Structure 1
Amino acid sequence: MKYLLIYIGGSLLALSPTLANAQAPIAFEQPPIFEASKILPPELLKSDLHRIREFCPSDGFMIHFTIDTNYGEVKCSGINTLAECINEIKAIKTLVETSRTDLFAEGLKQSIEAPIDAVKNIAEAPEETLRKVPATVGHFFKKVGSSISNASEKAEDKWKHRHDKKNSNGTVNDLSKSAKSIAGFDKAKLDCARKLGVDPYSDNALLQAEIEKITWAFFAGGLPLRLGISGKISTAMTATKTIGLPEDIYDVTPSELLLRDRDSMLALGASETLIESVFRNQDLSIAQRHSIIEALKTFPEKGDRVNVLGIAANSLSKNQTRYLNQVMMKLKAQNKKTPYAALTTVVRMPAGVTKEGMVEVVAPVDFISWTPRISEFARAPKMPQMKYKLLVYGQISQNAKSGFEAAGWQVIQR
């Protein structure tokens, strides 16, 4: 049977052209417009750095926010993404404050005196591995940079051939020393991102520029990294809490992470062709790629782990890859609490299979409305002898809940 993949507000929904069960129609709904002051906690609603515009439309799945900040207007989709975005705004403030300290000025002065070759070599690494990454807050952010496909190839090629380059007189250059400098700067930048609690592969152009400026001054100046006024960091969130990144995302450089992820995908049973497709997907960030792979490693060998890699490789937008990672994080947490018998895919959606034969689909959403697209997904044909459960990590309207239940689903709100 052929299926249609439909993207809704950050989600991947796999829909069948044939409805499974006839039923009395449930009235479709127009996705509501929410008031920010009624749905957001005070710390997300406004601060001295930002303010959320009051009226926030939804699309049947996610709520869309417009944020007025001290650094310009920002748009994002989903409350989780909103929290991440506000955390980045706080991080930018911390970096700006750091650039006004005497210690930064001293580091910048010393960094200017660094050997020109070291400056050149170190500056090449961020261009290849840290700046060419997709948007942190989805496609509502203006795209900067380009794809990670060439960056991945260049990083891997540089690593494999790190001892091969020769100069004009036939002797081998001290490429290992340059590579060490590159790795040193990368690790310093990762440490800066960790202290700020942000995604080191964020596509927030201003955030990346400020991180690189601060990191370079302290790293090349030979000084310890001190953030904020008197070393205090204004942001309190961490990336692991805000966006679910594995902690080791801060521990290894992008090129090292690429090699680890390649080995992990091989161990999962992926072909070289599939692995290259994963690396070449410009909408899949380094952080998301690693997070999804690490989640897949926690599931039993029996099942569709490789198919999930295929979904990642073929995702068509940054919101799709973001949502896929969110789904895998929820499934990973469920699997840790009560181990699944297998990981499967409901057409194009990852799902856990319990020992009792229950297929669990997780939905990390803001608000599900009963729309024609949601209805078609709910009524899609199901595998015989299997029961289906929808775990909603957000809100669902009564009509949508009734519609899913009428189509044979058990609906649980988390």
Structure 2
Amino acid sequence: MKSPPARTAAPFLAVAFALGAAGSFPLAAFEEPRTFTASEIVPAYRIAGPHHRVREHAQGDGYLIQFVIDSDYGTYDCVGIGELQRRVEEIRAISTLVAISKGDLFAEGIKKSVETPLEAVKNIVEDPAGAVVQVPKSVGHFFEKIGSGIGNAARQAGDKNEDPAPAETKKEIGKGLGRVIKNAAGFDKAKLECARQLGIDPYTDNARLQEEMDKVTWAFFAGGLPLKIGVSVASSGASRVLGATEFVGMPDDLYQLTPSELDFRDRRTLKDIGLSPERIDALFANPHLTRSLRHRIIVRLTDLSGSGRGDIVDLVAACDSLWRCYFLADVIQLLRIRQQTQPYVSYGVYGRLLVALTRDGVLEIAAPVDYLSWTETVAGFASRDDINAVEKRRLLLRGKASPEAKRQLKASGWELVFFPQ
């Protein structure tokens, strides 16, 4: 998968950090963002594998480090170590699914789904009105009725046309399946189980991974075969297999609830913590949020104490890209961890910057960065009048900072607290 052109954290974080000029700091004191060698900051098992290699040149932007992954399934541009970790695990999952799709069990599943189409379709077609009296009699016919999904196929269940599907339609088994059966009863749960066994995000934006999950899940599900992908993962050549909760930090209910069930629960959760319908709708309307990331953010919000959580939701709802949504999710997670030892009484937003106030009046700001350099924008942040109006200030850093950045921040009155990456 070829990602969009290289993205940088600088514009986003600059707006969040900088209020204007860099105060009284001399221009000569500013650092240029560092260039890194990937192997010096990324574990060897992530640098290279049977199906990928991370390029050695890794450019920092003063906050996050950008990486490029070359793989058998495309090139990935990654903003930050977090995205690099996700993409490497997704490549591993794709390779596992591709291997399964070339195996005898997959072929058996496809064969059974074609030989017993009535059972296969009966297992997946859901008619909300309960009015389905007949089902398509072949997988090819089922694909021909794509329309607006299963609902359209159900409305046309009485169609007597049983002409075989053209050859090109049959080739769309993996590609079109997600569109056709995305609302199917039973299939959703089977796909969630597939993602759980792989240890990946079931709602990932990785199109190739979604396609492979659809294809393999369909073969096992429609063919009436047990889904045992975990066994294949263990023998796929990966240096270490991570469980879903361990790697992606997903709540268990993400794999237990169908998409509609998850949406219903998340809306109810937001309502229970006092958010208005308008705020809830705005969050759900953000097209850049995946369902899983939104759910993780909501779970983290419920764990936060203090007032102002509605302001956090507004900030996420206004976020204009997926990777920036991930960054805000990391900010919330860092505050969530911090409050276990330093309870908060309230939260606020300064521009795009999320802040938290402790019981003893300290303003804390979470910065889940890879490597913080003393750039002009960071200097601008350090000298912001609105933030410096609070006497006690702490910067929570998940990652590293240059010696100059640490020195200048401390000289500007900031206390630094470091968290492991």
| TM-score, reference length from structure 2 | 0.77
Partner of 1:104: 106
Note closer, same or farther for the CA distance 1:352–1:246 as it changes in structure 2 (3 Å cut): farther
Q: Aligned to 2:398, which of 393, 396, 401?
A: 393
SS in 2 for 1:88: helix
- In the alignment, does 2:62 pair up with 1:60? yes
Partner of 1:260: 265
Equivalences for residues 202-217 of structure 1 within 5 A: 202-217=204-219
Cα deviation for residue 260 of structure 1 reads 1.0
SS in 1 for 2:381: helix
Partner of 2:145: none
Note closer, same or farther for the CA distance 1:94–1:20 as it changes in structure 2 (3 Å cut): closer
Checking the alignment, whether the CA contact within 8 Å between 2:18 and 2:377 is kept in structure 1 is no
Q: Distance in 2 between matches of 1:323 and 1:261?
A: 20
Partner of 2:85: 83
Higher mean displacement: 53-62 or 333-342:
333-342
Amino acid at match of 1:68: D
Note closer, same or farther for the CA distance 1:41–1:93 as it changes in structure 2 (3 Å cut): same
Partner of 2:311: 307
Note closer, same or farther for the CA distance 1:322–1:12 as it changes in structure 2 (3 Å cut): farther
Q: Distance in 2 between matches of 1:227 and 1:280?
A: 34
SS in 2 for 1:104: helix
Partner of 2:29: 27
Cα shift readout 1:68-114 (whole Å, capped 9, x = no counterpart): 11222221111121111111111111111211222222211122232
Q: Aligned to 2:344, which of 331, 340, 362?
A: 340
Q: Aligned to 1:114, which of 113, 117, 132?
A: 117
Q: Distance in 2 between matches of 1:10 and 1:106?
A: 50
Partner of 2:363: 359
Cα shift readout 1:3-25 (whole Å, capped 9, x = no counterpart): xxx95277575246456964666
Note closer, same or farther for the CA distance 1:44–1:10 as it changes in structure 2 (3 Å cut): farther
Partner of 1:320: 324
Checking the alignment, whether the CA contact within 8 Å between 2:9 and 2:61 is kept in structure 1 is no
Amino acid at match of 2:117: A
Q: Distance in 1 between matches of 2:41 and 2:79?
A: 14
Higher mean displacement: 335-344 or 40-49:
335-344
Q: Distance in 1 between matches of 2:230 and 2:127?
A: 24
Cα deviation for residue 253 of structure 1 reads 1.0
Amino acid at match of 2:269: S
Q: What percent of counterpart residues are identical? A: 38
Cα shift readout 1:138-173 (whole Å, capped 9, x = no counterpart): xxxxxxxxxxxxx9xx99xx9xxxxxx9999xxxxx
Cα deviation for residue 193 of structure 1 reads 0.4
- In the alignment, does 2:402 pair up with 1:402? no
Q: Distance in 2 between matches of 1:311 and 1:378?
A: 22
Checking the alignment, whether the CA contact within 8 Å between 1:104 and 1:218 is kept in structure 2 is yes
Checking the alignment, whether the CA contact within 8 Å between 2:124 and 2:185 is kept in structure 1 is no
Checking the alignment, whether the CA contact within 8 Å between 2:54 and 2:67 is kept in structure 1 is yes
CA RMSD in angstroms, aligned pairs only: 3.3
Cα deviation for residue 258 of structure 1 reads 0.9
Note closer, same or farther for the CA distance 1:16–1:87 as it changes in structure 2 (3 Å cut): closer
Tell me which of the two structures has the higher relative contact order, counting C-alpha pairs closer than 8 angstroms and 6 or more residues apart: 1
Higher mean displacement: 346-355 or 307-316:
346-355
SS in 1 for 2:190: helix
Amino acid at match of 2:265: R
Cα deviation for residue 199 of structure 1 reads 0.7
| TM-score, reference length from structure 1 | 0.78
Checking the alignment, whether the CA contact within 8 Å between 1:101 and 1:229 is kept in structure 2 is no
Q: Distance in 1 between matches of 2:64 and 2:21?
A: 25
SS in 2 for 1:336: coil
Partner of 2:294: 289
Q: Distance in 2 between matches of 1:400 and 1:224?
A: 55
The gaps in structure 2 that reach 5 residues or longer are 1-7, 129-147, 159-180
Amino acid at match of 1:327: V
Amino acid at match of 1:102: D
Checking the alignment, whether the CA contact within 8 Å between 2:48 and 2:54 is kept in structure 1 is yes
Q: Distance in 2 between matches of 1:369 and 1:20?
A: 14
Q: Distance in 1 between matches of 2:316 and 2:14?
A: 11
Cα deviation for residue 345 of structure 1 reads 3.4
Cα shift readout 1:313-336 (whole Å, capped 9, x = no counterpart): 101111210101111112112223
Cα shift readout 1:199-258 (whole Å, capped 9, x = no counterpart): 111111111111011111111111110227767454512343333322321111111111
Partner of 2:353: 349
SS in 2 for 1:182: coil
Note closer, same or farther for the CA distance 1:50–1:247 as it changes in structure 2 (3 Å cut): same
Partner of 2:276: 271
Q: Distance in 2 between matches of 1:86 and 1:203?
A: 14
Aligned residue pairs, count? 363
Partner of 1:192: 194
